[in-house]
Chains A and B, each alone.
Chain A
Amino acid sequence: MTPVPFPDLLPALPEILLAVGGMALLMFGVFTGDRSSRPIAWLAVLLMLVAGALVAFGGGAERVTFFGAFVSDAFSSFAKMLILLGSIIAVLLGADQNERDGQARFEYPVLIVFATLGMMMMVSASDLIALYLGLELQSLALYVLAAFRRETVRSTEAGLKYFVLGALSSCMLLYGASLLYGFAGTTDFAGLATTLGTGEPAIGVVFGIVFLAAGLAFKVSAVPFHMWTPDVYEGAPTPVTAFFAIAPKVAAVALLLRVMMEPLGGLVDQWRQIIIFISIGSMVLGAFAAINQTNIKRLMAYSSIGHVGYAMVGLAAGTAAGVRGVLIYMAIYLFMTAGTFAIILCMRQKDRMVEGIADLAGLSRTRPMLALALAIFMFSMAGIPPLSGFFGKLYVFLAAIEAARDYPALYTLAIVGVLSSVVGAFYYLRIVKIMYFDEPAEGFDRSVAGEVKAIIGVSAVVTMFFFLFPAPLLSAAATAAAALVKG
């Protein structure tokens, strides 16, 4: 047996740092107990900031290591930056909230660090086994986080539901992966791309793609695999819901992009119909099902289903411009969602969380700044120019229209998208109407932690003034997309 060279660890340095740092934080927490949950939260934030700096330092050059299982390129760096940002926000939102609920436990930031590690492994996966292991690492941490408030029925129900359905989706994903492996004889993405090639694939390969797409669609909560989303979003503790809505979604969308564009890139005609179907389904369901909601967390769940639908429009285009649109969309979505959930965390009356949309009535008079920020996020989610949400939708629809010359079904997709965003605007604007024109209800508690205020402020500013400085995000997304779609 020939000796095997030691793998190059540098491309995976941020992941290694997170793994080692997460374990160190775990040990620290075990020996000092729950009273150190605050310092551990801040250390976790610091850890993820350093990891982010390492990702940024790593640059965009494509580096493959661990014998082809792990790739670090501009695309994965872009996604990792978004994931780390989302995780930092979740740790900050959770540290304060858990303390108020008497749930200050040090495992919260530790589990988020491990979930982040799993997500970064997902977006860097260049092998079906690496893909599955990363996905499972993040999912397992998320199941636990969903059931984090174990003494409440809703939280445990959310955790159990998420676990059972998540396990089912993992089965489907594994089945699809095994079919692809069986027909291609390799799990390596590059090998899959050459073996599967272009042209007409075997029927088993098509089955494999369908199952793989179904498993991943579950993770991004796209229709028809969205059923868990409203219940889990409603039942999980609010900071955890915020985390679910931001980081794992970005990671899963990035993973879906990589799987569809890299190993299955030649078979775009096979998977495009699937993506178009789940995209239309998600957009329409997100628009119509949210209308009747009275709970704001459920509303955000349907809203996030809709947003995934819009992002999938870019993937359905199957071009570099489409991938760029999806990445821009996810970056903008991250800020809007983070800000909205930070505001939901401020919805406390007499030290008790309230989640009803009606509780927002007359917020403009009791808390004008909060109402203004929420109005900005709602207008942006509805896609009203010049707010950032408009540009997110603009780039994916533009990409779809460009690609529609070769594939006319994309015109239908774009039209359905625009129409459903008009329907969706109804419930976003209803919140604005309730805040500004309804008689004031009981106001919210005024004690808001500094971190939460900062997150609301920064997100609102980014969402509001994105149109003034769009260039950095646009060029970064373009570089990332070019790394994924070669040639």
Chain B
Amino acid sequence: MIVQTLAFYLFAGLTVASAFMVIAARNPVHSVLFLILAFVNAAGLFVLLGAEFLAMMLVVVYVGAVAVLFLFVVMMLDINFAELRQGVLQYLPIGGLVGLILLVELVFVVGVWVAAPGTTPVAPVPLEGGISNTEALGRLLFTKYVYFFQAAGMILLVAMIGAIVLTLRSREGVRRQSISEQNARQRRDTLEIRKVQSGTGG
């Protein structure tokens, strides 16, 4: 039990700290890296809750795709972050006020929230029969919801085709690598051996 508590405080503390660093870091690349750290720690919190599927999804989707996308954008777009940061102190009071109001609202909402009396959860936690929730989700997804699963797959396929149709263009004058051509190259295609009489100087 004590290990779990310690792990919780470790993950939670790191999540909050790295989330703070996301907005505090001077270098935007560091911000994105701290964001990844926050995601990974949040995944750890999910594992502690027994939601290992959500933890995996968080790592795969947010760390693997979204954060890397951010990183690409930050690196490819030449945004002057120093300029964006100007005037932070000027807007700090109003920004802080908005944040405070939101915080108070959140406290009120969560504070008075109770489940309606008499409601019972649809599925017991943990699930019956000792199966993990990944397995339970997989069983549902590939049996009862197989139609939706396949339909979603078709939608993603069309999205991929669309992205290629709208953006891929074959440009002239681009040197492309042709591996088969490279492999098929023989020495005689490129090297010519000439006998040079000594003393004539080529």
Contact = CB atoms under 8 A, between A and B. Distances in A.
Contacts of A23: 157
Contact of B148 (A118, A130, A140): A130
Contact of A121 (B143, B151, B158, B159): B151
A150 interface: yes
Interface stretch (A82-90, A103-111, A213-221, A285-293): A103-111
Nearest to A19: B154
A7 B147 contact: yes
Given A107-B161, A111-B161, A140-B158, A1 B151 contact: no
A137 B154 CA distance: 7
Contacts of A391: none
Interface centre among B139, B159, B165, by most chain A C-beta atoms within 10 angstroms, is: B165
Interface stretch (A66-74, A311-319, A441-449, A470-478): A66-74
B166 A147 contact: yes
B42 to A, nearest CB: 25
Interface in A134-174: 134, 136-137, 140-141, 143-144, 147-148, 150, 159
Interface in B97-141: 129, 131, 136, 139
B74 interface: no
B155 A137 contact: yes
Interface centre among A23, A130, A137, by most chain B C-beta atoms within 10 angstroms, is: A137
Give the size category of A's interface with B.
Answer: 20 to 34
Given A1-B139, A148-B165, A114 B158 contact: yes
B124 to A, nearest CB: 13
Contacts of B164: 107
Contacts of B139: 1, 4
B146 to A, nearest CB: 7
Contacts of A67: 144, 147
Contacts of B154: 19, 114, 117-118, 137
A149 to B, nearest CB: 11
A133 B165 contact: no
Contact of B161 (A19, A129, A144): A144
Interface string A108-129: 0011001001100100000001
A148 B146 CA distance: 32
Interface string A3-36: 0100100001000000100010010000000000
Interface string B167-185: 0000000000000000000
A111 B148 contact: no
B161 A137 contact: no
Given A1-B131, A121-B151, A130-B151, A7 B162 contact: no
Interface string A315-344: 000000000000000000000000000000
B148 A137 contact: no
A144 B157 contact: no
Contacts of A159: 166
Nearest to B167: A150
Interface string B49-64: 0000000000000000
Given A105-B165, A133-B152, A137-B151, A144 B158 contact: yes
A89 to B, nearest CB: 21
Nearest to B143: A4
Contacts of B161: 26, 107, 110-111, 114, 144
Interface centre among A69, A110, A121, A159, by most chain B C-beta atoms within 10 angstroms, is: A69
A61 to B, nearest CB: 20
A144 B155 CA distance: 12
Given A1-B139, A117-B154, A69 B165 contact: no
Given A133-B155, A144-B162, A1 B147 contact: no
A424 to B, nearest CB: 36
A69 B147 contact: yes
Given A69-B148, A70-B147, A133-B152, A1 B129 contact: yes
Contact of A7 (B129, B146, B155, B159): B146
Nearest to A156: B166
Contact of A111 (B143, B144, B152, B165): B165
Contact of B165 (A19, A70, A107): A107
A354 B159 CA distance: 32
B166 A144 contact: yes
A19 B154 CA distance: 8
A23 B155 CA distance: 12
A130 B147 contact: yes
A14 B156 CA distance: 21
A190 B161 CA distance: 35
Contacts of B147: 7, 12, 66-67, 69-70, 130
B155 to A, nearest CB: 5
Nearest to A3: B143
Nearest to A114: B158
A130 B148 CA distance: 6
Interface in A58-98: 66-67, 69-70
Nearest to B142: A4
Interface centre among B129, B136, B158, by most chain A C-beta atoms within 10 angstroms, is: B158
Contacts of A19: 150, 154
Contacts of A143: 162
A101 to B, nearest CB: 15
Contacts of A4: 139, 143-144
Contacts of A66: 146-147
Contacts of B155: 133, 136-137, 140
Given A1-B131, A26-B161, A67-B144, 7 more contacts: A1-B139, A7-B146, A19-B154, A114-B157, A130-B151, A137-B151, A159-B166
22 contacts: A1-B139, A7-B147, A19-B150, A19-B154, A69-B147, A69-B148, A105-B165, A107-B161, A110-B161, A114-B157, A114-B158, A118-B154, A130-B147, A130-B148, A137-B151, A137-B154, A137-B158, A140-B155, A140-B159, A144-B158, A144-B166, A148-B165
Interface of B: 129, 131, 136, 139, 143-144, 146-148, 150-152, 154-155, 157-159, 161-162, 164-166
| In the complex, the 9 A-B pairs of residues with the closest C-beta atoms, listed nearest first | A144-B162, A66-B147, A4-B143, A133-B151, A107-B165, A140-B158, A69-B147, A137-B155, A114-B158
